[in-house]
Structure 1
């Protein structure tokens, strides 16, 4: 093997031998590497663009910082962890809940989450990964993920009801493609469903003329729209529980790549959290949505057995290049309410079920009264969007549910141990 531009050429650079994998520090020939990089772009595309479409963030700005964030991640993890940092769905609920506060306050919340995640990463880097398991056991993490996912269910049904036929077509397409689509197509079910719903809406004349005119007027090449953040405590507190989701996703990504490549990568969990934290902070500071490691791209790696970080550099550069097309961003914003309703009906549920999966994989015992009552109260507070004021600060269901379980679980667990001595 010979090393070129930081990667060792795998074999003859043309194919992957039976039972072998292309490691993160290896690559295939550049044409094949570019091709695999394009697959990663396709895999991340639908989810990364759907978040700004739903929340109203600038699409091209979000895309730009996802590309920059991916490059930053590769540098900080020293090319040992292949990952694309795309828009995190976990931000959809708190950002949508805080929409009345305005874009600047939303960006301040994104930036605050990034700063806290970076600090968590620094602590993990120096204290070790076991700290996360001690502070946020699976019963807590699963509950927070579940309530974040289901908190905005009414918003999904409201968008669905705005254009029920378009939404139904979109939802049906997503379900059919996801279940029956072969190979990679099945993994792109949401993107394909959105495109089908989009086309149906266009053919049936259900896309706003204002949005279409804006798309026609947009330039092909231009600079992404940059915005600055402001900080409102109530909005920041609504968004901070997202940190728990991002920690779970990043640590899970490190473990998944470690298992697939057969290399021990636990020592990089702190670096991964720091990288995603900095990427999210940078995005929030200039107008983009928060980022996270993408499971969609793990699917591409599993299918190709190519874990080369060279392919992710290709994906990062591609995202940055596409970000400099206002026409592209305006095109994405022509997606009508019905399409968003059909897609988010599935998406919000998927986020919630990720919490259930965390419980299932970790075999959380719900015959344990501590697990049962704390989770029950937190979930209902989140889903019911319990909203109360503390002084002049108004907090919603995500904040109350998350704080409730983060504080209530260790207190009741300690009390339970005292009672059973």
Structure 2
């Protein structure tokens, strides 16, 4: 089979090709991008709108050399849920808190990209080796397991066989599309699983279309202004919950750039450079937070579409971004998305969160982490127990709180730095 691209990076598709291929990328990212806001209480329309905006920003920063689509990041689900419950008294629900944290994440990306530009990237690889990143990824997946099962089984706090059946149908459909189907269908199991589960939910009568009938065809998304706090304890807790997760998301970003480079036969670490792609990711996240969108990340689903279709054109990626932004203003479409039952979301989350945890295990295997080495055993064990156990660190009479996966990530980095036997990193990235 030829490895020659159907459309290379800067090839311009015909109008018909642009339309069809852009929608293909839209479908690939759609399920995951709208799932995150629905899980954390943000607006799905804003998530779609900001995914398009962030993708355009990413393309601009990377000089239209990297055909990557940016969607909602799953790594921040638990931190967003945590910080949304904080205000000055620590009890009110305010999703604007998460936007402050997301803006800080974007700024952190920018600072790291500046360091990479000046000093190369290998210091970062030494700071975040697989023995630190892999168990934190496992914590992210398993830490959300209870949430997924509760969504799948319970309605208003009570067990429902009917809703659980919808969750199981959704889960089974997603598994079937992921395992048994090939080509483009295997690249979007989340979207297809949601569709099958939704159709089943309509048949059993647990979908209410009242809001769809009442919605206008064209509506403005519900923009969310970031929360501003003058209470040091609230701000510190928000930052402590969200910033440590960049340990995982930056590693994910590097992995995606390496995989994408192999797919399209480019070296994106060198050109346009890891510093540019990371800055594009961070700036996309920052701008997204300004209007209420979740943090962004490059999407493996869309990289999969590139690999399957051999259509690498950045014009197609930009087209998908524009379509996503337009759909965000269709009120009836967004109202229809809002009718997806919680059980269906729970069913897809069981698979999704499990895959997240399993990808951490896969990183152990692919990186050939030696658990006969006591140092590796200690680091992984401590991260897993602190993260899954929900350990909490409180300082200054509760003015600073760090818990769960955030605390586990920080502890993992510290252990990797202080325990003897760490491999020394090289700071020159230009010989990659």
TM-score over 0.5 for the pair: yes
Query: 5+ unaligned residues in a row in structure 2: which ranges?
Result: 87-93, 155-162, 230-234, 425-432
Distance in 1 of aligned mates of 2:239 and 2:146:
22
Distance in 2 of aligned mates of 1:261 and 1:205:
46
Q: Which residue of 1 aligns with 2:206?
A: 206
Distance in 1 of aligned mates of 2:18 and 2:52:
17
Pick aligned residue for 2:368 from 356, 363, 370: 363
Deviates more, 1:258-267 or 1:25-34: 25-34
Distance in 2 of aligned mates of 1:280 and 1:299:
22
Give CA-to-partner distance per residue, 1:174-206, whole Å, 9 cap, x none: 112211223211222121111111222222222
Q: Which residue of 2 aligns with 1:272?
A: 277
Asked whether the equivalents of residues 53 and 332 of structure 1 are also in contact (C-alpha less than 8 Å), the reply is: no
Q: Which residue of 2 aligns with 1:141?
A: 133
Asked whether the equivalents of residues 187 and 296 of structure 1 are also in contact (C-alpha less than 8 Å), the reply is: yes
Asked whether the equivalents of residues 416 and 422 of structure 2 are also in contact (C-alpha less than 8 Å), the reply is: no
Q: Which residue of 1 aligns with 2:61?
A: 76
Residue 108 (structure 1) aligned with residue 113 (structure 2): no
Asked whether the equivalents of residues 150 and 383 of structure 1 are also in contact (C-alpha less than 8 Å), the reply is: yes
SS of residue matched to 1:363: coil
Q: Which residue of 1 aligns with 2:165?
A: 165
Question: Cα RMSD between the aligned structures?
Answer: 1.9
Q: Paired residues, what number? A: 398
**By how many angstroms is 1:416 displaced?**
11
**By how many angstroms is 1:41 displaced?**
0.8
Asked whether the equivalents of residues 144 and 241 of structure 1 are also in contact (C-alpha less than 8 Å), the reply is: no
Deviates more, 1:257-266 or 1:375-384: 257-266
Q: Which residue of 2 aligns with 1:11?
A: none
Query: 5+ unaligned residues in a row in structure 1: which ranges?
Result: 1-16
Distance in 2 of aligned mates of 1:165 and 1:269:
45
SS of residue matched to 2:362: helix
Q: Which residue of 2 aligns with 1:344?
A: 349
Give CA-to-partner distance per residue, 1:109-162, whole Å, 9 cap, x none: 222212111211221122212121121112111122221222111111111221
Please give the TM-score of this superposition, normalised by the length of structure 1: 0.90
Q: How does 1:5-404 map to 2 (within 5 A)?
A: 18-21=2-5, 22-101=7-86, 102-162=94-154, 163-207=163-207, 209=208, 212-230=209-227, 232-267=235-270, 268-390=273-395, 391-392=397-398, 393-404=400-411
Q: Which residue of 2 aligns with 1:5?
A: none
Give CA-to-partner distance per residue, 1:362-417, whole Å, 9 cap, x none: 21221111111111011111112223422313332112211110111211136999
Give CA-to-partner distance per residue, 1:250-290, whole Å, 9 cap, x none: 21122122212222221221111101101111111210011
